[in-house]
Amino acid sequence: MRMTLKMLTLSLVSASSLFMTHAFAASDKIEVTQQQVSKEELAAIYVLSDICPSLIKTDAAFNKGFDHLLKDYMPNDKDPKATLKSLTKQKDFQRALKEAKSDAKKAGDAENTAICNDISHYQS
Closest CA to 72 of 48, 103, 45, 106: 45
Q: What is the DSSP letter of 28?
A: T
Per residue in 14-61, pLDDT (tens digit) is 333 333 333 333 334 433 345 688 999 999 999 999 999 999 988 999
3-state helix, strand, coil in the chain (%, to 5): 65, 10, 25
- Is residue 124 very low, low, confident or very high in pLDDT (cuts 50, 70, 90)? confident
Query: What's the whole-model pTM score?
Result: 0.73
What is the model's pLDDT at position 16?
30
CA 38 to chain centre: 10
Domain spans of the chain? 5-120
Helices H / strands E in the chain, number of each: 5, 2
